[in-house]
DNA sequence: AACAATTACGCACCACGTAAGGATA
DNA sequence: TATCCTTACGTGGTGCGTAATTGTT
């Protein structure tokens, strides 16, 4: 039994479903199933009653759940106490992030993290993916937050999924877009398209995604502009100049206020997997390790 | 971090030595060293100050130690609560043991175990190794306690070391033995020797040990009797009829009272490794799992 | 020299993901 | 059929023991 077993158990008990817990913990569903089985095996008792609509704790499971929460609480307290005792060198953390995650997801994460570990000093660098990768290689960063796939990954990088998001086509809230909820790839190829610059993770991801469909950027599209920032692109789309592609994370506010109209691409999965990435051989300091556990671990979504 | 990490850490902190903790936990010393290193890595802080005369806790280590003890205490309480809730089927345990361990080590162990887990119903079968093995094969036993090496082990048995002891030559407390503290193999070959019957684990072990020295039983020895019980042999030796071989466990009392004189064999290591053995494919019940952890795990020696 | 911890290395096991399988509404 | 959990299987990472090394008294 280890701490992450307890975390997994608590997460499953909380959401009453193996598959939901798997998503939240960035694990496959069979992995969760197998973990729970081995916990049950360890204690020699069934902990969850399985049904078609999820799982519920058995009486024994309830006991284990209560203790697991208590043990986790203790352990968290332990880590905080260690935190207070460590020298400040261990508390500095430089994180790099690509635009989308750096601008729209991480700021709030850092805030939540600092609430939990107030001693940590975090510096955030938001650049495009290529730049972040070279900074990581030069040890200018402890950790990076990037999107999959990672270009030119020579195997010296360790990665861990932390967040799943969806790539959407963003359009002005007017005809012909505003009546649709989705768009075909053919329609998109003809639409006035604004894209990010070379070296941007979003662009790389989009290129990768469409290359599987035998379509190429920029030649197969009607590219009307190339811009170096998501905010610039959003402004252009809001102004009705064209359409673009971005992560749903980046347009939460605009969707709510109705200034941007999002569309799904038909018959295609444009999932974005955000990863926390670090050098395989690098000795991570305490703050970095904790930050990784904070993001990849359980609990309510650390992104906002 | 898992429960056994905490156990290991507490054991090391308690005895202030990697090597001593390794012995107590039935692990190699490098294994303990590596575990401690990974715990230190996990918390991002050095927990032990190493010196030539063992190790001491650092301030951070002291904190982790305190929490580890608390977590272990909680976890033990959890297991006890589960224990109370389980049905009685899970609480029955049939243990088989070969003579030495069955007669001299286990009775006290069972007593200690039942103090901790009063619901458990334990039945103990003491037979010779061969018989115990066949009972295990026929599912007449949950667990067996035997000495290494195990004859005819077809790989279907899982084993775990639980106790190390030393094989001694036992002699009457009179001339020519009483002045010596050790004996050569040549002297032993000429001495009037009493041995256990075929099928006895002790005999098998002794045969294995001397076969490495190109000596065979019974032809190379002066065997004057073969007996089916250690007690009978001890009585014979006490009566001055001859010498024999047995585990130091079995003659603690006699050494103390001076009725038997033990000798080491020169230039030879006669270590006995006692193992807990069970069928690889068998689903162990709760009591069995707990008993294994109780014996193999940390804490003060469960044998008396 | 003796003792304690570390490093190196090979092996076995375990946790994971992918893919296929069963059960239930 | 859709959803959820389980089973099967191949793979990579980790923990282990053995043996050699370092370091201190």
Calpha distance A219→A227 (Å, rounded): 17
Pick A60's closest partner by Cβ from B42, B71, B82: B82
- What local confidence, expressed as pLDDT, does residue B238 receive? 92
Rg of chain A in Å (alpha carbons): 22
CA of B31 to C1' of C11 (A): 15
Calpha distance A29→B77 (Å, rounded): 31
Whether the pLDDT of residue A267 is over 70: the answer is: no
Nearest CA in chain A to B91: A44
- What local confidence, expressed as pLDDT, does residue B153 receive? 65
Phi-psi region of B61 (alpha: psi -120 to 50; beta: other; left: phi over 0): alpha
**Chain A closest CA to B51's CA: distance in Å?**
22
% residues pLDDT > 70 (chain B): 94
Q: Which pLDDT tens digit goes with each residue over B232-267?
A: 999 999 999 999 998 888 888 888 899 999 998 876
**Chain A closest CA to B82's CA: distance in Å?**
6
Same domain, B81 and B229: no
- What local confidence, expressed as pLDDT, does residue A238 receive? 92
Query: Which residues of chain A lie closer than 8 angstroms to B59, CB-CB?
Result: 85
- The answer to whether the CB atoms of B60 and A42 lie below 8 A apart is no
Residue A23, CA distances (Å) to A32, A61, A176, B18 in order? 10, 22, 36, 40
Q: Which of B51, B85, B119 is the last residue of a domain?
A: B85
Query: Which residues of chain A lie closer than 8 angstroms to B45, CB-CB?
Result: 82, 85-86, 90, 286
- Diameter over CA atoms, chain A: 64
The reply to whether A216 falls in a domain is yes
Burial of B52: CB neighbours in 10 Å, binned 0-12, 13-18, 19+? exposed
Whether the pLDDT of residue A302 is over 80: the answer is: no
Mean pLDDT value across chain B = 86
- What local confidence, expressed as pLDDT, does residue B154 receive? 65
Q: Which pLDDT tens digit goes with each residue over B210-226?
A: 877 788 888 999 999 99
Same domain, B43 and B186: no
Same domain, B122 and B104: yes
Same domain, A173 and A260: yes
CATH of the domain at A105: 3.40.190.10
Best residue in A3, A41, A44, A58 for a mutation probing chain B (most B CBs within 10 Å) = A44
The pLDDT of B286-304, averaged and rounded, is 75
pTM of structure:
0.81
The reply to whether A301 falls in a domain is no
Same domain, B284 and B153: yes
Pick A286's closest partner by Cβ from B44, B67, B75: B44
- What local confidence, expressed as pLDDT, does residue B244 receive? 94
- The answer to whether the CB atoms of B71 and A67 lie below 8 A apart is no
- Find residue B97's DSSP bridge partners: B126, B145
Burial of B239: CB neighbours in 10 Å, binned 0-12, 13-18, 19+? exposed
Nearest to A6 by CA among B40, B81, B6, B2: B2
With contact defined as beta carbons under 8 Å apart, do A241 and A192 qualify?
A: yes
Query: Which residues of chain B lie closer than 8 angstroms to A2, CB-CB?
Result: 1-3, 5
- The answer to whether the CB atoms of A74 and B67 lie below 8 A apart is yes
The reply to whether B72 falls in a domain is yes
Q: Which two tokens stand for residue A297?
A: 């671990």
- What local confidence, expressed as pLDDT, does residue B250 receive? 84
CA atoms within 13 A on the CB side of A28: 3
Calpha distance A236→A3 (Å, rounded): 48
Pick B63's closest partner by Cβ from A43, A44, A78: A78
- What local confidence, expressed as pLDDT, does residue B293 receive? 84
Same domain, A72 and A28: yes
Whether the pLDDT of residue A222 is over 90: the answer is: yes
Picking from B10-14, B146-150, B226-230, which range would have the lowest pLDDT averaged per residue? B146-150
The reply to whether A303 falls in a domain is no
Please, which pLDDT band fits residue B68 given cuts at 50, 70 and 90?
very high
% residues pLDDT > 90 (chain B): 38
- Find residue A263's DSSP bridge partners: A169
CA of A29 to C1' of C18 (A): 11
- What local confidence, expressed as pLDDT, does residue A195 receive? 93
Same domain, A218 and A139: no
Q: Which pLDDT tens digit goes with each residue over A34-83?
A: 999 999 988 888 999 998 888 999 999 999 999 999 999 999 999 888 88
- What local confidence, expressed as pLDDT, does residue A34 receive? 95
Calpha distance B37→B277 (Å, rounded): 30
Same domain, A206 and A112: no
Domain holding B65, by residue range, is 3-85
Q: Which pLDDT tens digit goes with each residue over A118-174?
A: 888 899 999 988 899 899 888 899 999 988 777 766 667 888 888 878 888 999 999
Q: What sign does the CA torsion over B140, B141, B147, B150 have?
A: positive
SS (H, E, C) B224-286: EEEECCHHHHHHHHHCCCCEEEEEHHHHHHHHHHCCCEEEEECCCCCEEEEEEEEECCCCCCH
The reply to whether B268 falls in a domain is yes
% residues pLDDT > 70 (chain A): 94
- What local confidence, expressed as pLDDT, does residue B36 receive? 95
The reply to whether B199 falls in a domain is yes
The reply to whether B173 falls in a domain is yes
- What local confidence, expressed as pLDDT, does residue A153 receive? 65
Same domain, B207 and B143: no
CA of B276 to C1' of C20 (A): 39
The reply to whether B141 falls in a domain is yes
- What local confidence, expressed as pLDDT, does residue B304 receive? 60
Other CB atoms within 10 Å distance of the CB of residue B270: 18
Q: Is B169 helix (H, G, I), strand (E, B) or coil?
A: strand
Same domain, B142 and B278: yes
Nucleotide nearest to A17 (CA to C1'): D4
- What local confidence, expressed as pLDDT, does residue B275 receive? 87
What is the four-CA torsion angle of B103, B109, B110, B111, rounded to 10 degrees?
A: 110
Q: Which pLDDT tens digit goes with each residue over B102-153?
A: 887 888 788 888 888 888 889 999 998 889 989 988 889 999 998 877 776 6
Whether the pLDDT of residue B15 is over 70: the answer is: yes
Same domain, A70 and A218: no
Same domain, B178 and B255: yes
DSSP alpha helices (H): ranges in chain A? Answer: 3-15, 18-25, 29-43, 59-85, 99-100, 106-116, 129-137, 185-190, 201-211, 230-238, 252-257, 286-296
Best residue in A9, A82, A283 for a mutation probing chain B (most B CBs within 10 Å) = A82
Nucleotide nearest to A28 (CA to C1'): C17
- Find residue A165's DSSP bridge partners: A272
**Domain count within chain B:** 3
- What local confidence, expressed as pLDDT, does residue B267 receive? 67
Q: How would you classify the pairing of strands A121-126 and A92-97?
A: parallel
Query: Which residues of chain A lie closer than 8 angstroms to B1, CB-CB?
Result: 2-3, 75
Q: Which of A85, A118, A133 is the last residue of a domain?
A: A85
CA of A65 to C1' of C21 (A): 30
CA of B155 to C1' of C12 (A): 13
Q: Which of B85, B119, B134 is the last residue of a domain?
A: B85
Per CA to C1' distance, which residue is closest to D17?
B28
With contact defined as beta carbons under 8 Å apart, do A162 and A296 qualify?
A: yes
């Amino acid at each position: 039994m280890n701490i992450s077993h307890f975390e997994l158990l608590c997460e499953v008990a909380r959401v009453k479903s193996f598959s939901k817990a798997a998503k939240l913990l960035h694990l496959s569903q069979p992995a969760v199933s197998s973990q729970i089985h081995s916990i049950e095996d360890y204690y020699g008792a069934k902990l969850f009653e399985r049904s078609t609509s999820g799982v519920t704790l058995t009486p024994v499971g309830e006991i284990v759940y209560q203790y697991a929460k208590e043990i986790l609480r203790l352990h968290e307290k332990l880590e905080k106490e260690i935190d207070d005792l460590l020298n400040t060198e261990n508390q500095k953390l430089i994180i790099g992030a690509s635009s989308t995650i750096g601008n729209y997801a991480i700021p709030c994460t850092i805030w939540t993290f600092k609430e939990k570990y107030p001693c940590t000093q975090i510096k955030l660098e938001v650049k495009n993916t290529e730049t972040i990768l070279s900074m990581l290689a030069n040890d200018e960063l402890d950790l990076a937050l990037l999107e999959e796939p990672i270009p030119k990954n020579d195997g010296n990088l360790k990665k861990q999924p932390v967040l799943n998001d969806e790539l959407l086509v963003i359009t002005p809230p007017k005809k012909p877009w505003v009546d649709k909820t989705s768009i075909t790839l053919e329609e998109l190829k003809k639409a006035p398209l604004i894209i990010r610059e070379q070296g941007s993770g979003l662009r790389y991801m989009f290129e990768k995604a469409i290359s599987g469909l035998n379509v190429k950027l920029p030649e197969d599209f009607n590219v009307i502009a190339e811009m170096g920032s998501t905010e610039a692109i959003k402004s252009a789309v809001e102004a009705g100049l064209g359409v673009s592609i971005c992560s749903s994370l980046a347009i939460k506010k605009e969707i709510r206020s109705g200034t941007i109209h999002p569309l799904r691409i038909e018959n295609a999965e444009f999932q974005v997997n955000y990863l926390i990435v670090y050098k395989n051989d690098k000795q991570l300091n305490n703050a970095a390790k904790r930050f990784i556990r904070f993001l990849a671990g359980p609990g309510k979504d650390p992104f906002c």
